[in-house]
Amino acid sequence: MLELEKKHPGELEYLQAVREVLESIEEVYNENPQFESAGIIERIVEPDRVLMFKVPWTDDGGKVHVNLGYRVQFNNAIGPYKGGLRFHPSVNLSILKFLGFEQIFKNSLTTLPMGGAKGGSDFDPKGKSNTEIMRFCQSFMLELWKLIGPETDVPAGDIGVGGREIGYMYGMYKKLASENTGVLTGKGLNWGGSLIRPEATGFGAVYFAQEMLNTKGMDFNGKTVCLSGFGNVAWGAALKATELGAKVVTISGPDGYIHDPDGITGEKITYLLELRASNQDIVKPYSYEFPNARFFQGKRPWEVKCDIAIPCATQNELDKADAEKLVANGCICVAEGANMPSTPEAIQVFHEKKVMFAPGKAVNAGGVATSGLEMSQNSMKMGWPREEVDSRLHQIMKDIHSQCVKHGSEPDGYINYVKGANVAGFLKVANAMLDQGVV
Ligand code: NDP
């Protein structure tokens, strides 16, 4: 860690993610001296390569803008590089390296053959017209296409990148590469996409949390759930948790959260999705539309009493004070829908208080797992029905949970899901790297 901190000063998110993994795998690493002699740690913590490029584009008024684009190809020991693209003004190399590093272990946990990568841009899609977004996506792909391909690197969506952006990027890739292949996932249903992919991350998160609750003989029925965000991940989680009998009472945006004590169900979710599809702010309008709902400006949803918390917005959105509030209010289970939403200090609180806590790389792996299923369907040139994709997703989430229990169970019966996920994910990749020599 000290060497890494010296080499990459200021890359805080990346160093945070690496530290968490290294701390959890210390025991298995020491039990396997062959890892040290093959320099597995030194090799796994550095990306294979980073592509950084400028993305010039013209707005509707004719003004030229320049954003930065990146692709971080981290590790392909167990399969082609795979990981989402994030378009958000906060994007920088540290954030993409943390996400790419996490993706190695997450993809390994899915049991599918996928390596780890991440990419994106500091472009902000908010407030942009469709044609501006199209021009940006096309310019972004003009550089990225050289590095990706269905057998080398298969990007997907993330914050700020949904079906629309994937469509524009796919169109440009197809034109440049003169091929119609499964090079991106999250595609539209009528041009190679998979059923269930849009809701897969949220569904998978709830399936995982259900397994966590099952270890204590509990389930979602009658439970109160706090969610943050209301993007690709949160809406699927809201839908599935509601279907399983829970009441989802919060969603949030960067400016605050909504508390709806009546529950965010059925037609309310549809209303939110319509606002989201028309590129509008969703959190405040919701509180005007449904009179019992209240908007809390500048606050986070973790102060609301709940049984289960599923943070689905962004990294480090749940800190020590938030964790203490959740615990004091009787929260029994925290399942991370987003990547690294809890700070290390918050995780420590959950562990000390023996609250069930599972990290994003296990809980939200359903998204990339279903992307893997989309790749399989593309290779076979066929599509599976909804039920088949959903049941495969459900089984994968159960398998990931079992791996976490196997490697994370402590003598007192508490399951340390952070350790379990990191050890299980690491062992598979490290053994593949050993088999393949120093490359
Ligand atoms: P989206 O952009 O679709 O949604 C993010 C949501 O969080 C939006 O509602 C956004 O509000 C809100 N938000 C952003 N910043 C904050 C903040 N600081 N505080 C509160 N709310 C905030 O992204 P995704 O749903 O795709 O991704 C969310 C998380 O899940 C990320 O960590 C991502 O890496 C992870 N993830 C996503 C997967 C996927 O399949 N999409 C797969 C696995 C992980 P607003 O729109 O108003 O900015």
Q: What span, in angstroms and rounded, lies between the C-alpha atoms of 247 and 366?
A: 22
Residue of 401, 317, 318, 411 whose CA lies nearest to 362: 401
Find the angle CA(113)-CA(391)-CA(310) to the nearest 5 degrees.
Answer: 85
Give, using CA atoms, the residue closest to atom 12 of ligand 1. Answer: 229
Tell me, in angstroms, the distance from the centre of ligand 1 to residue 277's CA: 15
pLDDT at 296 > cutoff 90: yes
Query: How far is Cα of residue 199 from the mean position of the Cα atoms in its chain?
Result: 12
Average pLDDT over residues 284-296: 89
pLDDT range class, residue 228, cuts 50, 70, 90: very high
Q: Strand 153-156 relative to strand 247-253: parallel, antiparallel, unpaired? A: unpaired
Average pLDDT of the residues of the chain: 96
Mean pLDDT of 119-146: 97
* Residue 291 confidence (pLDDT) above 90: no
Which amino acid is it at 111?
T
Residues of the chain above pLDDT 90, percent:
93
CA–CA separation, 324 and 47 (whole Å): 35
Q: Of 158, 161, 235, 251, which is best to mutate to test ligand 1, by the most ligand atoms within 8 angstroms of its C-beta?
A: 158
* pLDDT at residue 134 is higher than 80: yes
For 380-407, what is each residue's pLDDT tens digit? 999 999 999 999 999 999 999 999 999 9
Does the beta carbon of 327 sit less than 6 angstroms from any atom of ligand 1?
no
Q: Is 247 within 8 Å of 307 (Cβ atoms)?
A: no
- Residue of 201, 248, 315, 373 with the most ligand 1 atoms within 8 Å of its CB, for mutation: 201
Mean pLDDT of 141-166: 96
Alpha carbons 436 and 439: distance in angstroms, whole number: 7
For the beta carbon of residue 398, count every other beta carbon within 10 angstroms.
Answer: 14
Q: Is the pLDDT of residue 276 over 90?
A: no
What is the rounded distance in angstroms from the CA atom of residue 373 to the CA atom of residue 60?
Answer: 38
Across 137-141, 221-225, 290-294, 413-417, least confident range: 290-294
Query: Is the Cβ atom of 67 under 6 angstroms away from ligand 1?
Result: no
202 lines ligand 1 (CB under 6 A): no
Tokens coding 134: 């199209």
Query: Atom of ligand 1 at shortest distance to CA of 283?
Result: 47
Is 254 touching ligand 1 by the criterion CB < 6 Å?
A: yes
Whether residue 247 lies in the annotated active site: no
The Å distance, Cα 58 to ligand 1 centre, comes to: 26
User: What is the arithmetic mean of pLDDT over 295-301?
Assistant: 96
Q: How far is the CA of 230 from the centre of ligand 1 (A)?
A: 7
What is the band of 166 on the pLDDT scale with cuts at 50, 70, 90? very high
Q: What is the mean pLDDT of residues 143-161?
A: 96
What pLDDT score does 10 carry? 95
Q: What average pLDDT does this structure show over 146-160? A: 96
Within 215-333, residue ranges assigned H as helices are: 232-243, 266-277, 283-289, 320-328
Point out which residues pair with 409 in neighbouring strands: 415
Rounded to the nearest 10 degrees, how much is the dihedral formed by the CA atoms of 113, 427, 361, 247? Answer: 100
Say what the pLDDT of residue 410 is: 97
Q: Is residue 227 in contact with ligand 1, taking CB distance under 6 Å?
A: no
Instruction: Tell me the average pLDDT across 5-29.
Output: 97
Reported as a pLDDT band with limits 50, 70 and 90, residue 278 is confident
For residue 221, is pLDDT > 90?
A: yes
User: What Å distances lie between residue 250 and 235, 237, 269, 358, CA to CA?
Assistant: 11, 12, 12, 20
Band the pLDDT of 275: cuts 50, 70, 90.
Answer: confident
pLDDT at residue 288 in the model: 85
110 ligand 1 Cβ < 6 A:
no
The pLDDT of residue 69 is above 90: yes
Q: Which domains does the chain have, with CATH numbers?
A: 2-183 (3.40.50.10860), 200-358 (3.40.50.720)
Determine if ligand 1 sits within 6 Å of the CB of residue 272.
no
Whether 345 has a pLDDT exceeding 80, the answer reads: yes
Q: How far is the CA of 234 from the centre of ligand 1 (A)?
A: 8
User: What's residue 277's pLDDT?
Assistant: 80
User: Which one of 97, 118, 187, 419 is the catalytic residue?
Assistant: 118
Q: Is the pLDDT of residue 280 over 80?
A: no
371 lines ligand 1 (CB under 6 A): no
